Chains A and B, each alone.
Chain A
Amino acid sequence: MQVVGLTTQQQVYVASQKRKFRINEMLKIIDSELDYPLGEVVETQSYNRYIPLSMDKSFVDQGVIESLKSIGYNLAEDEINIAKVRLLEEAPYPIQTGVDVDVPSFDEVKDLLVKEKPEEGLVLGVIKGTEEMAAGMDDNLKGIAPLLKDEEVIEQQGIPFNFELKAMHKYPHIGIIGGSGSGKSFGMRVILEELMKLEIPTIVFDPHFEMDFATPFSALAKEEQVDFNDKFAVYQIGQDVGVNFAELSTKDLTDLLAAASDLSDSMINAVQKLHLKRDSLLTFDQRLGDLQEAQRLGQNRIERDLKNGAVTGNQKEEYNNYLGLLREFGDLPASSISGLAWRLGRLKREGLFRHSIDQIEEGVRGRKLVVIQGPIWLLQVFATYALGTLYRKRRDYKDAQYRCQEADYFPPFVVATDEAHNFAPKGYQSPANKIIKEIAQEGRKYGTFLILATQRPTLLDETVTAQLNTKFVFRTVRATDIETIKQETDLTADEAKRLPYLRSGDAFVSSAIFGRTLAIRIRVAKTTSPHTKNPFEELEEQSNLELELLYEAIVNELPIAGNNIAFKLEAINQRLGVTLDVEQLRQKLNLLAEEGLIVAEDSFLGDKSYQVKG
């Protein structure tokens, strides 16, 4: 290997006849005056001058190449491999052309590539292009990041990529960017697994209901599998966790109601007036209901009924109450009030107010990973509330500590979510926007960190994007997103060009911790998402199951013909647990006959008779 052609202080071309270059591999340039600079292959090419690509000139066919080989000359050996190598650090003056190039040994690159002991960092995968150097690696770095290739688990190839978690203190927050199928969720899963390994308290908002770590990945050897069951908990909003209404601020409540369905200005106004401090769900709900009823009755009628004594006792009290409400809130439009009542009803039906976030808090204190699942509309507001509450606890503790006061301990924690552009969108206000932004800007101080995954970085709030000090960039096809990635990371134009072609699970890591972009391959996840079953296969299975049940139900009644079908119907219905009419049963029988489970014959009466097969 040799440096050829024009060189600069930043990059050189290296050519070799024998050795093929791998993209992203590290090379050592034997320029003694520059103290043997290291470089990374950023582009590779291979060329054979005897087999040129020419449209107008002749083309060397395979037969001739073979004949040439048999007279002893292998054209393929005339191949020249060329690599564009970017220096890791700019040299003071250009590299000398013609100097040799070598593969560095592990020790020479160790400091650059291994920033953390594997047991103390997040072992997320391998650094690409380091396969050759991995041989001289320390034992504790070997065999810790098996990879996935064509659905099969293969051995670790190359130096492991250990993300230095502790460096988050200096360079907080992680972004995960990539289109669907790029390996983004898979990357998130691996990161979360590693966080569980280190028992870092983590809250995961999971709109896809996929972050469950109970099922080990079956292709993984038994001894490689890890049981995470006591390290995480999954809660669904409304089922297990919810909102403590009494703790809600008016703003929170507005956001919650808005999440159920958009609020008009007058509705917002109404909430602001109606919601009182220390309101419980009961008091607020009742106030809303009463006002609605009062408005329905109308002030005149209420006053009249009170005056002429048409209401007495409890009802009279109620009417007085109505009157009070009307005096206070009567100017609020009735349509807004009923709109609010409907929205509150929807949230109630979701079970949002029946539970609290105590379990989440407990999980965080217990150094667990807490997964919160729910539909995205609900998740957003719930996240606002839950994050606001927990972040406040952490902040209060730290602030007290800064002020040298006593306070309840609350641990630092990590917040992870997919579809982050829904939580902190650019251009419009979303409930969670404020808290996410706050954590993005101040979380470092309080030890609260974000891991935000999105397939649309362009739609993510810019203040938030700017605070993501480490970005994992997976395959991205959309041009606007690639443009955003270029602006927000130190990916070079060459690397950005490769983004649409990355394999699933391959990513660039642009991190202030490493100071430059690394190409990595994510390791195989130790667990698997609960719903990886193909919905079309599921459809097929379900149909087969139904057919089987049907067959079981009718097989003993066969033969069935026109004259006895009505007679048999009842027994069949009973067995199936449904109510078919004669026509429907006939259709089902035809279906079974079509599938070849029973035999249909034309009977002499002009209709069909159904027989047992065989």
Chain B
Amino acid sequence: MFEITSGLKSLLKDCNQKLKEKYQNQTNLEQEELRDLIAQKIGEFVTLTEMSEVEIEEWLAGQEVVGVDGSINTLGKNYPHYITLLQALAKSTDRDKEGIIKHEAFSPLLDEDREKIRKKTYKDNLAQENKDAIVYPQEVAGKIKSSLLAALEILVAKESIVEWNPKLIMMDGSLIRYQMQAEEEWQELVELALKNDVFLVGIIEEIGTNDLSKNLADDLPDKMIEMYDRELLFGLLKMEEMIKLKEINSFKGETLSSAFLRTTRDPGVIGIDILKEQEQEIDLIAALVQSLTPAAGRGIPIWLDIVDGEVRITDKMMELLIDNYLEPGLKQKLLHAKSLDRIY
């Protein structure tokens, strides 16, 4: 069957209609009004000026910028028959400094990892308030993987401070992720960064928060109360404009300061967050982010793309590694997914 069935077509048409009603016809709040509202209650609109090369050099004063990113790739499909490789990289803009790279492997098939899963499943189930909802080991394994990656990224970030003492570390994704997924390690990194005056900034490509509607609930029309930040902010900011969020009720809580930026011609926005203790520099850091972002790009600084390109464990690489270092018999027995042998 190579034609799209009419059933699927009409379902999608239906979907489209519903979304259109929700977002177009009933957004009875003008953009200007929304801007005013935000300006009054939540944050401050700031126009970013790109930093000139001289300004950047002055600000850095010989120190460098470090980008931190991690990558994760898994061979095998179903719990517990998979193996995951993790890799994190801290890369300095100074070409002479070789990147700091850390690796980790994780597989529920290995006894020590299975033990971790078992313990955490037990703990999480105990902590569960609703006793009917059971936490399954596969979920826990997923969480452990995320924590491992976060911890690995924090590790290379820490090491980069010790070794290079950079001016700024850019991390891929919100800093809150590290705080939640690897709390202890995160605390150590924060302390180290504050002690050495290293700025930490998280660059958030996909904004998943709903802080705006939460804080503006009383003033927004009913239909907009449920909206996420990315929906409300789409097209609201002009290019090179930023909203600096005030003290608001956010799940990021007390420790971080954040801002929304539109760095590109694309009407979507990105977010940045930095440590509360360093928030006085947010304007400068935002300007730097702006300067390093191609106007036609996807919104995040090119430096993170470069780091990402270097750290990424591609499927091809994964395959090569497994084929080279894992016995074929084991691979076939434990990890091979039948779906890969599909002909069509």
Neighbouring A residues of B291 by C-beta, 8 Å: 63-64, 67
Q: Which B residues between 285 and 301 are near A, CB-CB below 8 angstroms?
A: 288, 291-298
Neighbouring B residues of A59 by C-beta, 8 Å: 294, 296-297
Nearest CB on A from B199, distance (A): 13
CA distance A78 to B101 in the complex (A): 20
B57 touches A61 (CB 8 A): no
Given known pairs A63-B291, A67-B53, A71-B303, the reply for A58 and B65 (CB within 8 Å) is no
Cβ-closest chain A residue relative to B57 = A70
Q: Which A residues between 55 and 92 are near B, CB-CB below 8 angstroms?
A: 58-61, 63-64, 66-74, 77
A58 touches B93 (CB 8 A): no
Nearest CB on A from B64, distance (A): 5
Cβ-closest chain A residue relative to B63 = A72
CA distance A73 to B170 in the complex (A): 15
Neighbouring A residues of B207 by C-beta, 8 Å: none
Given known pairs A64-B291, A67-B53, the reply for A58 and B297 (CB within 8 Å) is yes
Neighbouring B residues of A613 by C-beta, 8 Å: none
Neighbouring A residues of B57 by C-beta, 8 Å: 70
CB contacts between A and B, total, < 8 Å: 67
Whether A409 is near chain B, meaning CB under 8 Å from some CB there, is no
Given known pairs A58-B297, A58-B298, A73-B93, the reply for A68 and B309 (CB within 8 Å) is no
Nearest CB on A from B141, distance (A): 34
**Contact string against A for B residues 301-315, beta-carbon threshold 8 Å, 1 for contact and 0 otherwise:** 011011001000000
Neighbouring B residues of A63 by C-beta, 8 Å: 50, 291, 295
B56 touches A70 (CB 8 A): yes
Q: Which A residues between 31 and 68 are near B, CB-CB below 8 angstroms?
A: 49-50, 58-61, 63-64, 66-68
Neighbouring A residues of B51 by C-beta, 8 Å: 67
Nearest CB on B from A508, distance (A): 40
B56 touches A60 (CB 8 A): no
Contact partner, B64, options A64, A67, A72, Cβ 8 Å: A72
Whether B18 is near chain A, meaning CB under 8 Å from some CB there, is no
Neighbouring B residues of A60 by C-beta, 8 Å: 294, 297, 302
B292 touches A68 (CB 8 A): yes
Nearest CB on B from A64, distance (A): 5
A71 touches B93 (CB 8 A): yes
Cβ-closest chain B residue relative to A72 = B93
B292 touches A71 (CB 8 A): yes
Given known pairs A73-B93, A77-B95, the reply for A68 and B303 (CB within 8 Å) is yes
Q: Which B residues between 56 and 109 are near A, CB-CB below 8 angstroms?
A: 56-57, 60, 64-65, 92-95
B95 touches A73 (CB 8 A): yes
Nearest CB on B from A73, distance (A): 4
CA distance A66 to B288 in the complex (A): 12
Interface centre among B94, B296, B298 (most CB of A within 10 A): B296
B94 touches A68 (CB 8 A): no
Nearest CB on A from B273, distance (A): 20
Neighbouring A residues of B92 by C-beta, 8 Å: 72
A58 touches B296 (CB 8 A): yes
Cβ-closest chain A residue relative to B290 = A67
CA distance A73 to B288 in the complex (A): 14
Nearest CB on B from A66, distance (A): 6
B294 touches A61 (CB 8 A): yes
A61 touches B93 (CB 8 A): no
Nearest CB on B from A18, distance (A): 12
Interface centre among B92, B94, B288, B297 (most CB of A within 10 A): B297
Cβ-closest chain B residue relative to A77 = B95
Contact partner, B303, options A61, A66, A73, A74, Cβ 8 Å: A73
Contact partner, A64, options B54, B93, B95, B294, Cβ 8 Å: B294
A71 touches B296 (CB 8 A): no
Q: Which B residues between 311 and 332 are near A, CB-CB below 8 angstroms?
A: none
Neighbouring A residues of B288 by C-beta, 8 Å: 67, 71
B292 touches A61 (CB 8 A): no
A72 touches B53 (CB 8 A): no
CA distance A64 to B302 in the complex (A): 8
Neighbouring A residues of B53 by C-beta, 8 Å: 66-67, 69-70
CA distance A74 to B303 in the complex (A): 11
Contact partner, B60, options A64, A68, A71, Cβ 8 Å: A71
B296 touches A61 (CB 8 A): yes
Neighbouring A residues of B54 by C-beta, 8 Å: 70
CA distance A60 to B306 in the complex (A): 12
Cβ-closest chain B residue relative to A62 = B294
A50 touches B306 (CB 8 A): yes
CA distance A306 to B141 in the complex (A): 135
A-B contacts besides A63-B50, A67-B50, A67-B51, 18 pairs, CB < 8 Å: A58-B294, A58-B296, A58-B297, A63-B295, A64-B291, A64-B292, A67-B53, A67-B288, A67-B291, A70-B54, A70-B57, A71-B288, A71-B303, A72-B60, A72-B65, A73-B93, A73-B94, A77-B95
Interface residues of A (CB under 8 A from B): 49-50, 58-61, 63-64, 66-74, 77
8 contacting pairs across A/B (C-beta < 8 A): A50-B302, A50-B306, A70-B57, A71-B65, A71-B93, A72-B60, A72-B94, A73-B95
Q: What 9 A-B pairs have minimum CB-CB distances, sorted nearest first? A: A58-B297, A72-B93, A70-B53, A73-B93, A67-B291, A70-B56, A71-B65, A64-B294, A71-B93
